[in-house]
């Protein structure tokens, strides 16, 4: 398989430092050499490639933009470039790294006690422990504030009851970050360890999307945990949402990777596939229209991601900036996948090519971490000053 040459129409690379390019090169080579050869089989079998975890950890991809506890201390742009390349491999792979880094390590790092950080961060960074983030419930997705899961204090313990749904890595997690309401109706985060009596996990089957990723349901029935497993700094839903902002930022970059893979595949195909008068289909205006749409949208998405990344590195990124990044880039990636599928004709529907896998994956990415429309409402509220959720 030839090395991925990148997609760069407007000399985007001239905006990157040598170090940023090196980080991307490491992630790019890893994906070309370790992920692409096995990913279609993983997708068919519906399994996450756990065998890659040690190397993912060793290269420093887990918690890459955190500092200390074995983390690499990367900038947000560097972290974003890693996400882009991982999702060029598969959204499931990027989801794994996003959940571990932004939804488990970040909250422990930001809201955890020193003991929690020392216990979990080195193990999560080295891939020796896997984490999951339990916010969504069967009845509450876009509106997590309505959650039914409860945590009742009993001496030096908390007792958790409730159900979580659509939880990435749920059944394979060594530690579950469960969001639940305490008796005073405040949302708090709790670390529930694997094997805790009363914690049950099962996998969602029959997925047509993110097949190379574990998605689970979790049930807690009088699940007792030590009180010190409460994240002391996380009070209220906004703490949970702040983690999602971190993860969404990575998704904004990741989606570019999936789009690049589809565009690159479609471009190569269109130049070699011949129909009518033995001419390549790339010679038709209608086909060029699709390819030009793709490269233009990918280029705009790159600039948006880089700008928001630079803002984030300066501490100036607002969560609505990140909403726009996620909303736009995932939509653009999904549309790119659809156009690429069209260009490949019948070949576009089989897994000899990456396109349908990316397209199906992106349907999940479009929905999770705030649906496309919810981000519209977030941005709408920001510019009009009027909340339109109900």
Partner 1 sequence: MKIAVCVKQVPAKDAPLHIAPDGTWIRETDISFEMNEPDSYALEEALRLKEKHGGEVVAISLGPERAKQTLKEALAKGADRAIHIADEEFYRLDPLAAAQALARALEPERCDLVLTGLQSDDHGFGQTGVLLAELLGLPHATIIMSIEVQDGSLRLKRELEAGWFQWIELPLPALLTIQSGINKVRYATLKGIMAAKKKEIRTIPRTELLPSLAPTQKLERIYVPEKTKKTEFLQGPPKEVAAKLLEKLKHEARVLGSS
Active-site annotation, residues? 369
Tell which residue, 275, 297, 253, 298, has the closest CA to residue 346. 275
> Which C-beta is closer to partner 1: that of 74 or that of 199?
74
Note whether 215 binds ligand FAD by CB under 6 A.
yes
Query: Considering the complex, what minimum distance in angstroms separates the CB of residue 29 from partner 1?
Result: 6
Count of helices and strands (H, E) across the chain: 12, 12
166 binds, among partner 1, ligand FAD, none (CB under 5 to 8 A by kind): ligand FAD
- φ, ψ of residue 272 in degrees (nearest 5): -110, -25
Question: Regarding beta strands 230-235 and 187-193, do their DSSP bridges make them parallel or antiparallel, or are they unpaired?
Answer: antiparallel
- φ, ψ of residue 29 in degrees (nearest 5): -65, -40
One of 39, 66, 72, 231 touching partner 1 (CB under 8 A)? 72
Subset of 20-39 contacting partner 1 (CB under 8 A):
21-23, 25-26, 29-30
One of 39, 42, 49, 61 touching partner 1 (CB under 8 A)? 61
- φ, ψ of residue 275 in degrees (nearest 5): -140, 150
Place of tokens 């009993």: 154
One of 141, 198, 233, 380 touching ligand FAD (CB under 6 A)? 141
One of 196, 280, 367, 382 touching ligand FAD (CB under 6 A)? 367
Subset of 236-295 contacting ligand FAD (CB under 6 A):
273, 275-276, 281, 284, 286-287
> Which C-beta is closer to partner 1: that of 87 or that of 335?
87
Q: Do the Cβ atoms of 263 and 340 come closer than 8 Å? A: yes
Q: For ligand FAD, which stretch binds (CB under 6 A), given 35-43, 129-137, 183-191, 318-326?
A: 129-137
How many residues form the binding site for partner 1 (CB under 8 A)?
Answer: 25
Place of tokens 């690159």: 264
Q: For partner 1, which stretch binds (CB under 8 A), given 18-26, 141-149, 254-262, 360-368?
A: 18-26
Where do the H-state alpha helices sit in the chain? 18-30, 36-45, 53-59, 76-89, 91-98, 106-111, 114-125, 237-272, 285-313, 319-343, 355-367, 372-384
Q: Which residues pair with 223 in a beta bridge?
A: 160
Subset of 146-165 contacting partner 1 (CB under 8 A):
none
Place of tokens 């990435």: 168
The single-letter DSSP state of residue 155 is: T
Subset of 320-359 contacting ligand FAD (CB under 6 A):
342-343, 345-346, 349
96 binds, among partner 1, ligand FAD, none (CB under 5 to 8 A by kind): none
One of 2, 197, 315, 385 touching partner 1 (CB under 8 A)? 2
Structure tokens at 79: 């972290």
64 binds, among partner 1, ligand FAD, none (CB under 5 to 8 A by kind): partner 1
Helix (H, G, I), strand (E, B) or coil at 33: helix
Tell which residue, 217, 214, 159, has the closest CA to residue 190. 159
Binding site for partner 1 (CB under 8 A): 2-3, 5-6, 11, 13, 18-19, 21-23, 25-26, 29-30, 58-61, 64, 72-74, 78, 82
């Amino acid at each position: 398989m030839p090395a991925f040459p990148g997609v760069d129409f407007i000399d985007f690379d001239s905006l990157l430092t040598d170090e940023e390019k090196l980080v991307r090169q490491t992630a790019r080579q890893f994906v070309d050499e370790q992920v692409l050869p096995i990913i279609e089989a993983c997708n068919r079998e519906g399994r996450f490639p756990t065998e890659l975890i040690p190397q993912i950890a060793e290269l420093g991809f887990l918690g890459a933009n955190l500092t200390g506890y074995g983390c690499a201390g990367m900038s947000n742009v560097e972290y974003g470039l890693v996400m882009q390349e991982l999702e060029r491999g598969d959204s499931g792979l990027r989801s794994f790294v996003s959940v571990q880094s932004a939804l488990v390590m970040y909250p422990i790092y930001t809201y955890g006690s020193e003991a929690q950080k020392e216990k979990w961060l080195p193990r999560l960074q080295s891939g020796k422990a896997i984490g999951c983030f339990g916010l969504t419930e069967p009845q509450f997705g876009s509106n997590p504030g309505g959650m039914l899961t409860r945590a009742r204090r009993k001496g030096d313990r908390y007792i958790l009851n409730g159900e979580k749904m659509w939880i990435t890595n749920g059944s394979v997690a060594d530690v579950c970050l469960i969001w639940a309401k305490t008796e005073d109706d405040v949302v708090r985060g709790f670390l529930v360890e694997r094997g805790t009596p009363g914690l049950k996990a099962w996998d969602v089957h029959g997925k047509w999307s993110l097949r190379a990723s574990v998605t689970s349901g979790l049930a807690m029935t009088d699940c007792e945990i030590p009180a010190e497993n409460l994240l002391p700094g996380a009070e209220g839903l906004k703490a949970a949402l702040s983690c999602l902002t971190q993860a969404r930022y990575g998704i904004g970059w990741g989606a570019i990777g999936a789009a690049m893979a589809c565009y690159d595949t479609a471009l190569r195909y269109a130049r070699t596939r011949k129909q009518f008068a033995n001419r390549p289909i790339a010679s038709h205006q209608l086909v060029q229209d699709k390819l030009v749409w793709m490269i233009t949208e990918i280029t705009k998405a790159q600039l948006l991601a880089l700008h928001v990344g630079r803002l984030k590195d300066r501490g100036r990124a607002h969560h609505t900036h990140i909403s726009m990044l996620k909303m736009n880039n995932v939509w653009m990636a999904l549309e790119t996948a659809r156009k690429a599928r069209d260009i490949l004709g019948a070949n576009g529907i089989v897994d000899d090519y990456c396109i349908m896998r990316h397209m199906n994956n992106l349907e999940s990415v479009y929905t999770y971490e705030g649906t496309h429309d919810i981000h519209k409402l977030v941005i709408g509220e920001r510019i009009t000053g009027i909340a339109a959720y109900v």
